[in-house]
Amino acid sequence: MFDRKGLPKAVTVYEVGPRDGLQNETQVLSTLVKVGLIKRLIGAGLPAVEVASFVRPDLIPALEDAEELLAELAPLLPKHRLSALVPNQRGLDRALKTGIREVAVFASATESFARANLNSTVAGSLDIFTPVIKQARDADLKVRGYISMCFGDPWEGKVATKQIVDVAERLFADGITELSLGDTIGVATPGDVIDLLDALDARGIARSLLAVHFHDTYGQALSNTLTALQEGITTVDSSIGGLGGCPFAKSATGNLATEDLVWQLHGLGISTGIDFTALLDTSRWLRDTTGLAIRSKTAVALMDNKRMVEE
Ligand code: MG
């Protein structure tokens, strides 16, 4: 008999579609459609949504409307956990003006990715983040840290856990309030997840401070998620419709899809606060409004077949 011992009773689904997802789609959505998407996600009960990135607008045109978007979302900020990525001091300055209550910084554990994505070194990028994190915390904002390429890097191959743990320790020392471990190219298998969580635990970084961010490029995202849950993780990142693809592999499959995650969690009796039917309505709305491909297997199975929707 299946033994559910050790699984959490509740999990926080951290929705990254409007930021991580759209950042990696070629189609650019209007501010109006983004606002519609975010409001629907909140309406479906998503407890945390990453909505924007304060990067230089010319670097990521898909996210260049961060200010306009946050102005539209301003009434929601006091009641809902909405966050935005800030790559540097300039990004934080812009974010602070919008009234957002949570920001995120995006660190790399490998030199190759730091050079390719942050145009810096690992140490150099961390030095940029230290005053940004401090200023955000002084302004009473929560700060989420991301570490990308936690399990493998397209240039360097397998990544040593020590590299991840060193960066994690530094980010927590600087003041982050949560750390999301990213399998950016989707190569991890469950044993890798256990090894990394154990290595972090050995340095005193508790599971309760961690989130997991899996990509389904190699079909491992839900297996890795279940393993992380059994290991005590209670925050899982996902993207509506699996938006985002994989920027580093010629694969249409990238971010773990929110619909697939919620289907698994609810199937296990784990509460999320999410109305699955409303989530599926959002997937359908997104497809019909934008033409974007919905890559969630659960959504594809159920979107146009209401008789099979449970709950
Ligand atoms: Mg991602």
Strand residues in the chain grouped as ranges (E): 12-15, 48-53, 81-85, 102-108, 142-148, 152-153, 157-158, 178-182, 210-213, 235-238
What is the number of domains present in the chain?
1
**Could you tell me if residue 155 is inside a domain?**
yes
Q: Is 239 helix (H, G, I), strand (E, B) or coil?
A: strand
**Could you tell me if residue 6 is inside a domain?**
no
Q: Both ends of the chain: CA-CA distance in Å?
A: 24
pLDDT recorded at residue 66: 97
Per the structure, the complete domain to which residue 31 belongs is given by 12-308
Calculated CA dihedral for residues 220, 224, 225, 231, nearest 10 degrees: 170
pLDDT recorded at residue 77: 97
pLDDT per residue of the chain (311 residues) written in tens, 0 to 9: 445 678 999 999 999 999 999 998 889 999 999 999 999 999 999 999 999 999 988 888 888 999 999 999 999 999 999 999 999 999 999 999 999 999 999 999 999 989 988 889 999 999 999 999 999 999 999 999 999 999 998 888 999 999 999 999 999 999 999 999 999 999 999 999 999 999 999 999 999 999 999 999 999 999 999 999 999 999 999 999 999 876 666 666 789 999 999 999 999 999 999 999 999 999 999 999 999 999 999 999 999 886 655 54
**Could you tell me if residue 224 is inside a domain?**
yes
Rg (CA), the chain: 18
d(CA 105, CA 183): 16
d(CA 121, CA 228): 29
**Could you tell me if residue 91 is inside a domain?**
yes
136: phi then psi, degrees, rounded to nearest 5: -65, -45
Distance, CA 255 to ligand 1 centroid (Å)?
5
Pick the closest to residue 55 from 65, 70, 40 (CA basis).
65
**Could you tell me if residue 182 is inside a domain?**
yes
pLDDT recorded at residue 128: 95
Distance, CA 229 to ligand 1 centroid (Å)?
19
Cα 32 → chain centroid = 22
**Could you tell me if residue 3 is inside a domain?**
no
Distance, CA 175 to ligand 1 centroid (Å)?
23
Look up the CATH number of the domain holding residue 56: 3.20.20.70
d(CA 43, CA 128): 36
**Could you tell me if residue 244 is inside a domain?**
yes
pLDDT recorded at residue 61: 85
Distance, CA 14 to ligand 1 centroid (Å)?
11
Distance, CA 182 to ligand 1 centroid (Å)?
7
pLDDT recorded at residue 1: 43
**Could you tell me if residue 7 is inside a domain?**
no
Catalytic residues: 246
31 beta partners = none
Distance, CA 21 to ligand 1 centroid (Å)?
7
pLDDT recorded at residue 304: 86
